[in-house]
Amino acid sequence: MTGAADGGRPGRPDRLAEIAGAADLAFRLLPAVPSDSRASGPPQPARRIRTDPDTVERDLVRLVLTLVELLRQLMERQALHRVDQGDLTEEQEERLGSTLMILHDRMAELCDDYGLTMEDLNLDLGPLGTLLPPAEGGD
């Protein structure tokens, strides 16, 4: 029988101790509270979503429109890539271009309906930057 001196599987206790040590080190290196808020005093609770019954519809529309705008921009980039590759016929290129222009115009109309601008849809993700890339050519 192959086993450790204590009757267990070989190497198992050492491996568990190694994993526990690595986890302990990781938790000490990555505090749960950002360092900038810890430096100014005791840990603060995580930021919570503020809900205001008066603006909940507008905020929800903003979130939905942000996702639609992100998808629209991704589709536009994919379409440009396909055009550059020569994957589309002229008729397909025209239909795709018209569809993307109509979608952009409809997005602008929806933003106007809810008192938003296209810039309002570009959510700030903190240290990651903004969700959407900057508009190119006065989009």
- 24-62 burial, b at 16+ Cβ within 10 Å, e below that, comes to eeeeeeeeeeeeeeeeeeeeeeeeeeeeeeeeeeeeebb
**pLDDT of the residue at 1:** 45
Q: What is the pLDDT of residues 22-51, one digit of tens each?
A: 776 666 665 555 544 445 555 555 455 566
DSSP-assigned beta bridge partners for residue 124: 130
Rounded average pLDDT over 53-59: 80
**pLDDT of the residue at 62:** 86
Cα end-to-end distance, the chain, whole Å: 73
Q: Residue 59's pLDDT band (boundaries 50, 70, 90)?
A: confident
pTM of the shown model: 0.55
Q: What's phi and psi for 106, nearest 5 deg? A: -65, -35
- Does residue 132 contact residue 120 with C-beta atoms inside 8 Å? no
For the cut 80, the answer to whether the pLDDT of residue 63 exceeds it is yes
**pLDDT of the residue at 14:** 72
- Does residue 69 contact residue 118 with C-beta atoms inside 8 Å? yes
Residue with tokens 């810039």: 119
**pLDDT of the residue at 102:** 93
DSSP-assigned beta bridge partners for residue 130: 124
**pLDDT of the residue at 139:** 44
